[in-house]
Amino acid sequence: MKLYTRKGDDGGTALFSGRRAEKWDARVAAVGDLDELSAAIGLARLADPASARELHRIQNEIYGISAALSAEGRHDDLAPGADAVLRLEALIDEITDRLPVLRDFIIPGRAEASARLHLARAIARRSERGIAALDAPAPAPAVLAYINRLSDLLFAMARDADHREGLGDAELRSAADEEASY
């Protein structure tokens, strides 16, 4: 079987629902953002072995969300439900309980693992915006909550990665303070 089909050469693509859509369609864009999110999480997995198992599980759940969105409401059972949202919340609490209280905005990029996790977090936020903008059929109720919590978890994981490397948080500083530190 060949990898290419040539069916998308006209700017269209097939959704899991069977409907053909333009590649710029909001639903296609939302699924594409989720694909990019999964790829960014894959990069983070390579740099952060401590989080790799959970990140792999999340990638599988993201594919479930993608399938549900592409199915246009016909397979919402593929997307993670309320129990997955609670699992993410428990992980966020577990990680933040061992970190110092955050007192300011932070600048991503101290350790490679945290930089990759922050990139995934930013893509998760974009994915959330794209999913929220979709017209009917709307995603399963837990999908937006899941993506929202996922971005929070990726933020917590990024901070944790920096702290495990002994780097702490790179808090936002004024330009004058920054000049003095270099």
The CATH number assigned to the domain holding 129 equals 1.20.1200.10
Contacts of residue 146, Cβ cutoff 8 Å, sequence gap at least 6: 61, 65, 79, 80, 84, 85, 88
Residue 7 lies in a domain: no
Mean pLDDT of 12-33: 80
Query: Is 83 among the domain residues?
Result: yes
Domain with 41, as residue range(s), is 12-181
- Lowest-confidence segment of 27-36, 57-66, 113-122, 135-144 by average pLDDT: 135-144
Judge whether 172 lies within some domain. Answer: yes
Record the pTM.
0.87
- Structural domain count, the chain: 1
Considering the domain boundaries, does residue 100 fall inside one?
Answer: yes
Residue 121 lies in a domain: yes
Highest averaged pLDDT of the listed ranges 4-13, 34-43, 66-75: 34-43
Question: With contact defined as beta carbons under 8 Å apart, do 46 and 119 qualify?
Answer: no
